[in-house]
Amino acid sequence: MNNLKSHLKRSRTLRTLGRTIKADINTLRSEGYRLWKSFARPGKIQNYLLSHEVKKLHLGAGPNIFEGWLNTDFDPQPDDVIFLDITEPLPFPDQTFDYIFSEHLIAQVPYKDAIFHLQECYRILKPGGKIRIATPDIQFLIDIYTAKDKTEIQKRYIQRIVDADYPEAGFYHATFVVNGCFLGWGVQFIYDAVILQDALRRAEFSQITRCAVKESTDSHLYNLEHHGTAISEEFNTLQTMVFEGSRLD
């Protein structure tokens, strides 16, 4: 019996060790891939800047590759996406870009890092340049949790989250949506309109305007949001707010 217990204990230890080693290997692969992409980055940046009159920076591109934009991501899977960590100084000279766009990215880093990032965005924008940010709105979570008479789209959203992430729940409740946001989306800080506008102003942006998803008076910033392809356009419109700001000096 003691031999059996000892064998089972060693087996559990080996399984745990195996999972740890596998996780470490995957981490090393990711770090190595990002390092390799970092070495290739200067040449790709230079090629882009030399070949485009209107210079546009796409942050957190993921699989959404925009033609005519310099597409970047922390985990750059496609070959034409360059590695970029928005918590670090952006690797561009002052006043380089005409446009900057990010979608569901700024909430992925702590508030302090986001403030620094917006200051960096301001630095690399040309005078007259514009930034567009799409991000989850915490007011959406407050509304969906507190509403006594929920709208049909709110009900469908709750059902989608529970069915996808909490199928064992057995009933639908907005609490699952709130938990899914903080635990499933990997967010560090969720903004509302007041806090995001303040963050943009603190970075010295002017003419800060709220826009509808995929809508803009500037053709370069029109129809950019793609998160709706993952969760449906109506759900993306429900949970996302979009702001644009300009550098005037």
Q: What is the pTM of this model?
A: 0.84
Task: State the average pLDDT over residues 23-32.
Answer: 45
Alpha-carbon torsion angle 134, 205, 248, 122, nearest 10? -80
27-33 contacts, C-beta under 8 A, 24 or more apart: 30/75
Confidence (pLDDT) at 203 = 98
CB 95 within 8 A of CB 126: yes
The closest of 93, 145, 96, 87 to 117, measured between CA atoms, is: 87
* Predicted pLDDT of residue 80: 87
Predicted confidence band of residue 59 (pLDDT cuts 50, 70, 90) = very high
Rounded average pLDDT over 216-237: 96
* Distance, CA of 84 to CA of 61 (rounded, Å): 10
Indicate the domain borders of the chain: 5-137+191-246, 141-178
Q: In this structure, how many other beta carbons lie within 10 angstroms of the beta carbon of residue 143?
A: 15
Residue-wise pLDDT tens digits, 232-247: 999 999 999 999 999 9
pLDDT single digits (tens) 91-132: 999 999 999 999 999 999 999 999 999 999 999 999 999 999
CA-wise closest residue to 144 among 128, 158, 130? 158
- The pLDDT confidence band at residue 210, using thresholds 50, 70 and 90, is very high
* Percent of the chain residues past pLDDT 70, beyond the cut: 84
130-169: pLDDT as tens digits: 999 999 999 999 999 999 999 999 999 999 999 999 999 9
Which two structure tokens, joined as six digits, stand for 120? 């960096």
Please give the pLDDT value at position 22.
Answer: 45
Q: Does residue 9 surpass a pLDDT of 90?
A: no
Is residue 187 scored above 70 in pLDDT?
A: yes
pLDDT of residue 112: 98
For the domain made up of 5-137+191-246, the CATH class stated in words is alpha beta
Confidence check: pLDDT of 4 > 70 = no
Residue 69 has pLDDT above 50, yes or no: yes
Least confident of 137-146, 174-183, 224-233: 174-183
Residue 24: predicted pLDDT = 46
